[in-house]
Structure formats: structure tokens, C-alpha cells
Chain A
Amino acid sequence: SQTIHQWPATLVQPVGSPLSLECTVEGTSNPNLYWYRQAAGRGLQLLFYSVGIGQISSEVPQNLSASRPQDRQFILSSKKLLLSDSGFYLCAWKGLVNPHNEQFFGPGTRLTVL
């Protein structure tokens, strides 16, 4: 069966510090991978998605970047965090077998920028 991991679970960082959040998927090959951000009490905002190693599509201009160094690894980064980067970051994956377009989420990382 497939599983998705995110770490860390929670993170408190000062403004201006760098960021690296990691997401890994097990039990599937060549998944589509996604990063979302969720502000408190709000919906999900798509930040980045990737359909393969080294392929990144950015949805929202921002202070963040994403990378996919391996097939089942997706990393969200920032060189200098802003207060507005606080939120709940969710990684998700989707398999390639159609018509199964289900997207599955990881447990999330709660980021607080002070």
C-alpha cells in the first residue's frame, strides 16, 4: 500500500531564516506530487506541483521554491522566511493510473514564523 510522509510535523522559525520541508511517498512510482498551503480556518492553496523528477510548476509567485530530486521526494524551501509564510503545509500525491484521479494527502507540517 502507498503511504506519504512529511517532516517535520511542526516547526517554529524566525523571520529571515531558511526553510526546508520534506515529503516522501512509498509504494508507488512516478507519482504527481503537490505542495499546498492552508491558512488558519481557510481552504487549500496550491503552491507547486510536479509530474516528474526535476519538473516543477509554480502556481503562486512567492517566497518559496520546490524541488524534486528523486522520484518520490518533494522538497519545499525558502531562503528567507516571511511572517506571511506561516501556515499548514500539505504534501499530496496522485498515481498515474487512469481513471483513478484520487489525490492523497500527507499529515502536514505546521509552520510558525515569528
Chain B
Amino acid sequence: GQQLNQSPQSMFIQEGEDVSMNCTSSSIFNTWLWYKQDPGEGPVLLIALYKAGELTSNGRLTAQFGITRKDSFLNISASIPSDVGIYFCAGQSPGTYKYIFGTGTRLKVLA
């Protein structure tokens, strides 16, 4: 079945640093979604991507839809303590209603 590899699994960074994480798929997606989940809450949608090569920003967050349609990247600039949480990528294959989720990147920001 489809697999979605997300890396890194976890990272500790200093406040103010930039963060990068990525997801790679074994098959083509037509949609990439990035979420943030705080403990005990449902994931919150951060950015949605629909076209290969698309680059979209949401405040300090920037995500890109890879040109091969098999990968996506999320960057967070100038991290702050409230960026702490788990970030998930999710992809949707053409012609399906399902989303495949990555295993998550746990981000911890050191003040």
C-alpha cells in the first residue's frame, strides 16, 4: 500500500531558528496538506497545496508541493515557543477520497 515517510521524527531547536521538515510518498499525490496538532486536540490545517511546484505561505510557514508530486516540504521561520507540537503531512491520490498521513514531526522549541 501507499507509504508516506515524514522526517525528521522529532527536533529540538532554539527559539528564533528556522525549521524544515519533509514528506515523501511512494506514489503521486494531487493534494498535500500540512497540519499542526497540540496535545489532546484535533489537528489544525496549516497549508493546502494543489499543484506541482506550488509554494504557499501562511505567516511564518511556507510549504511547497514537490515537482515530482511525490514530496512536500514545510518550513517554519523564526520559531517561537508556541510552534511546539506535532506536525503532520497528508496526501491525497488522484481519484480517491482518502488521505494518507505521515508519521509526524514532533517539534520542541527551547526558549
A residues whose Cβ falls under 8 Å from a Cβ of B: 32, 34, 42-44, 46, 49, 51, 57, 59, 88, 90, 92, 94, 99-108, 110
Contacts and interface: CB of A to CB of B under 8 A. Distances in A.
Contacts of B45: 102-105
Contacts of A101: 30-31, 33, 48, 50, 92
The dominant DSSP class at the A interface is strand
A102 B49 CA distance: 9
A59 B41 contact: no
Given A43-B88, A101-B50, A108 B42 contact: yes
A42 B103 contact: yes
Interface string B4-46: 0000000000000000000000000011010100001111110
A63 to B, nearest CB: 21
B42 A105 contact: yes
Interface stretch (B64-72, B77-85, B93-101): B93-101
Given A101-B48, A103-B90, A110 B40 contact: yes
19 contacts: A34-B99, A44-B43, A46-B99, A49-B97, A57-B97, A59-B98, A92-B42, A94-B97, A99-B31, A101-B31, A101-B48, A101-B92, A102-B45, A102-B48, A103-B90, A104-B45, A105-B35, A105-B42, A107-B42
Contact of A43 (B30, B41, B50, B102): B102
Contact of A49 (B30, B42, B98, B101): B98
Contacts of A88: 40
